[in-house]
A and B are shown apart, each in its own frame.
Chain A
């Protein structure tokens, strides 16, 4: 399956060409090139998926294919970075997800970004992002993944800061990069730990289940914790940064400063699930050698999910609601991985996590693109500038509703099936975990319908000009993704992606399903009462729970903590004193050497006055002194 190389390389070529030509070409040309390339690689990905899932199953188990790999740089006898392509169920699934969403975004942007300055640059960056993301998912070794991980971070930085004359966008891009970079530091050190003891970067070797690979880690500890816990914990920090897990989530809501299609692609469907993908990729290692970390992941995921869901209930910027919703949903995926075991039924969480990743990518991209369509029509992100739009934008309305139903977990939409599997896995782990996650699922349904009713129902806002439905290039991706959302739940996902690569038949657990659907319907009903028509209830609630409401609106002050750390501690308490110390102590010492030399020479220079009388005088004194000395010694 050599042609998979093209899937990765074509976007790179497209980036280079578009980047070099930049404004020499007309915007449309750049857009069409970008979209065409994406079309080709989407097709290739589908072919890959078809071929892989149909023909590469041996004895009921999917094989891992490496159609291509080269050594890129060699560090030591054992450690070398290879660049290659690894095909296994999760990477093939990710290929499909990334290319599909990316294609939709490319088509959508043709119209959405029309007339923007830097249209060509935008398409170049999109191609760069797609390239990096594809390189990340097909990585054959952890260092290749890290390499593309960094590239993904930079393309995200460039795209968030696309409107570079806008200070808020510049600040957001900077924040996103630095926060994720900080997390990547953990990732890097984790890789160093892991590779030092296992003597390999290769995923194949790491996940082969061969215990001798990890032989040298037994009994080794560093500062009180076993090395494997260190390594896998640190690697997870990297994943937590990209996947916006608490407390590293703060960059994601701000990242909404980027163009909306970018949010759909990067900050909803693809890049933000990289952390989940990373944990899934190393799942066998986590499961066997660092189960404590894996449980930690479950708790971090659950807490993040709850935390973000609460905040999403009170945000008024529609993109921010979606951003927190994304954080919350990624929390679901993390929880599912965290509670999962290895094997057919024990591996339910793993399968559910990947399933949810897949369905979430589709409906969340749809939600973002729908939001973009709304923003395009009313030129505002604020909920209270909207209302009653269903009359003007029927397509957006219907597709958005489908996505809302899916994320709320209403059958037969895709989100129901994947979320239900996650909940089943959670209940099997512990009833508390299941209960908490069901509660969060209820919150999800509530805030999504709060959003939906606020945009499309409720009181109509006065607009400068009548909102209108978006053009075809924007409507098509909405409809396409809505169709996927409707049918994706029926995919027998267990036949494709499982923890042990073997078949697993999904069974609906009717108790769990019943509870979750019941909770979802109740929440939706509540949202309907509160937000479908203008009502006093939300305001009353807000005043009753004033403290909570204010805290949630301010995102529980996590940003303030960060500002305190960066501005007060790093800038004022570390950097400024160091710079002062450098100038006034170190440098002053060096200048001091010069000063002392100068002072000494100015003191002794009078000995060289050039006056003959003085020389004679000193000469005479000297002679007398020596004569006296000689006389006394004898």
Chain B
């Protein structure tokens, strides 16, 4: 068995550990150990990946392994990683780790919560290490289902509605995806569902014309592409903190990753021909999400719409079909994952104290809970693209990359997408000004509990990661950029 499968095995072991845990202490121990192990694992894999590349291994996927699962249908379990998967694994580990600490004192039913939480992480990790369409799809489904229960049971507000909406819409997306994947497999005539095998074949262009939109939309739903984004505000608003973090931080990235790895990589001709439709849709997402965020009053809605805008930028950049923009897209996935998780963590922690998420009911919190105040400002600055924080490098890579496309259509869309940097500033500063500055709105808010150690750990970890990506982007950027190359070669065919 390949060591990559440890990423799936560790959460599975965590689930077993949870089964036998008797009290909260033990549950916390199991979760903390598992989360730390996962962080160490992904750091180690990053190191191994970089050394292997430095040693001159130029294979598309490294550390590949393949086991036959069900021979009659050519179903294999195959794994492997490239620079993009490595970045996503790092992201997932950080989010899983911080999510555990953000829900350290989850109530009620901590055991069950963490069981579903671990199952969710199995799905996420599995998706990023798979190179087989079937394995990938299976893990995708594993990641979706626990979401329903996590929101429905531990959520807040209209949680049944939110859970139902989120799950059904994403299931709708995965139905499109299933058709797409099977279509790709049969049309390619390959003897396995391995992506690396399929990319060597030529899917007939007529088939690509309908398979590309199916897969792109299927993954696009998860990437909150307009007009399939409405699960995001309602779903996130009712989800518990850690679930929002994991969902917006990692799960939404499955969408972008899938679009990149499956839709574009396997169907390059259709990508060239049809990208304009999706460019328009994602271009709308970018601006539309940002404008919608301006008038929202619920913190989680603001962040959800902001995610629509930022994730729209990911898909937008992927569709530019050049190396720089695609590198930027992956960096944006990483950056958005980190900062949105930070936002949701902070919103959850603030909500736990003020018992409201409406910005009209808060004010002057900076004086009362300075730790959260400062962290929120940092998250906001990252979101509006302050240099030295992760958002800046990602957005700039995207903009410079998109600008390499010379025709007026791409130019105009790029400039339209650039305007989001201003609109983002408007809604971020509006929120910061309303809830943190000024006078205290509510008398009950004059004495709020200071941040606990586990909350601090979670928040500081995310901030450090955001700084690290933003201040030293060169190695991540070059790692991703190299891994984008195969797709570019494929597109040039």
Contacts and interface: CB of A to CB of B under 8 A. Distances in A.
Most buried by A among B226, B399, B429, B473: B429
Contacts of B397: 73, 75
A185 B477 contact: no
A76 interface: yes
A336 interface: no
Contacts of B401: 75-76
B447 interface: no
A171 B169 contact: no
Interface string A143-173: 1000110110010010001001101001100
A154 B473 contact: no
A576 interface: yes
B366 A192 contact: no
B324 interface: yes
B418 A189 contact: yes
Interface in B349-382: 364, 366-367, 381
A71 B477 CA distance: 12
A192 B400 contact: yes
Interface in A48-87: 71-76, 79, 81
A171 B437 CA distance: 10
A72 B404 CA distance: 20
A188 interface: yes
A492 B324 CA distance: 48
Interface string B410-426: 01001100110110011
Given A150-B386, A174-B429, A189-B415, A586 B227 contact: yes
Contacts of A75: 324, 396-397, 400-401
Interface stretch (A35-43, A176-184, A401-409, A449-457): A176-184
Interface string A589-606: 111001000000000000
B165 interface: yes
A383 B45 CA distance: 67
A196 interface: yes
Nearest to A164: B437
Interface string A293-327: 00000000000000000000000000000000000
B438 A170 contact: yes
Given A73-B474, A171-B433, A177-B425, A575 B291 contact: yes
A225 interface: no
B439 interface: yes
A582 B231 CA distance: 11
Interface of chain A, main secondary structure: helix
A143 B400 CA distance: 11
Contacts of A558: none
B400 A76 contact: yes
A587 B437 contact: no
Given A76-B404, A587-B230, A579 B437 contact: no
Contacts of A170: 433, 437-438
A339 B230 CA distance: 54
Contacts of B473: 72-73
A177 B387 contact: no
A587 B324 CA distance: 34
A182 B291 CA distance: 15
Contacts of B230: 582, 586-587, 590
Given A73-B393, A74-B474, A154-B381, A578 B288 contact: yes
A181 B421 CA distance: 8
B296 interface: yes
Main secondary structure of the interface of B (DSSP, over half): helix
B202 interface: no
B478 interface: yes
Interface string B222-233: 000011101100
A192 B288 contact: no
A192 B421 contact: no
A570 interface: yes
B422 A178 contact: yes
Max count, chain B CB within 10 A of own CB: residue among A161, A165, A195:
A165
A558 B387 CA distance: 31
B403 interface: yes
A590 to B, nearest CB: 5
Given A165-B367, A587-B230, A178 B425 contact: yes
A130 B111 CA distance: 51
B168 interface: yes
A71 B366 CA distance: 37
Given A150-B392, A182-B422, A594-B168, A71 B474 contact: yes
Contacts of A76: 323-324, 400-401, 404
Contact of B295 (A154, A174, A576): A576
B392 A222 contact: no
B430 interface: yes
B229 to A, nearest CB: 8
A151 B388 CA distance: 9
A74 B473 CA distance: 9
Given A150-B392, A174-B430, A177-B429, A188 B477 contact: no
A174 B438 CA distance: 13
A99 B53 CA distance: 45
A157 B433 CA distance: 12
A193 B388 CA distance: 24
Contacts of A185: 418-419, 421-422
Nearest to B471: A72
B60 interface: no
A480 interface: no
Nearest to B424: A181
A199 to B, nearest CB: 11
Given A73-B393, A575-B294, A582-B292, A188 B438 contact: no
Nearest to A574: B291
A16 to B, nearest CB: 11
Nearest to B381: A154
B72 to A, nearest CB: 35
B33 to A, nearest CB: 30
Contacts of A182: 422
A181 B168 CA distance: 40
Interface string A218-256: 000010000000000000000000000000000000000
Contacts of A575: 291-292, 294-295
A432 interface: no
B385 interface: yes
Interface in B419-451: 419, 421-422, 425-426, 429-430, 433, 436-439
B331 to A, nearest CB: 9
Contacts of A165: 364, 367, 437-439
A571 interface: yes
Contacts of A143: 396
Contacts of A193: 403
Contact of B436 (A164, A586, A589): A164
A150 B399 contact: no
Nearest to B397: A75
Interface in B248-304: 288, 291-292, 294-296
Contacts of A71: 474
A196 B422 contact: no
A227 B481 CA distance: 29
Given A165-B437, A189-B418, A586-B230, 5 more contacts: A147-B387, A154-B381, A157-B429, A181-B425, A582-B230
26 contacts: A72-B473, A72-B474, A73-B393, A73-B473, A73-B477, A74-B474, A75-B324, A76-B400, A79-B400, A150-B392, A151-B388, A161-B437, A165-B364, A165-B367, A167-B437, A170-B437, A178-B425, A181-B384, A181-B421, A185-B421, A192-B399, A575-B292, A575-B294, A578-B291, A578-B292, A590-B231
- Closest 5 CB pairs between A and B? A587-B230, A147-B387, A164-B437, A575-B294, A192-B403
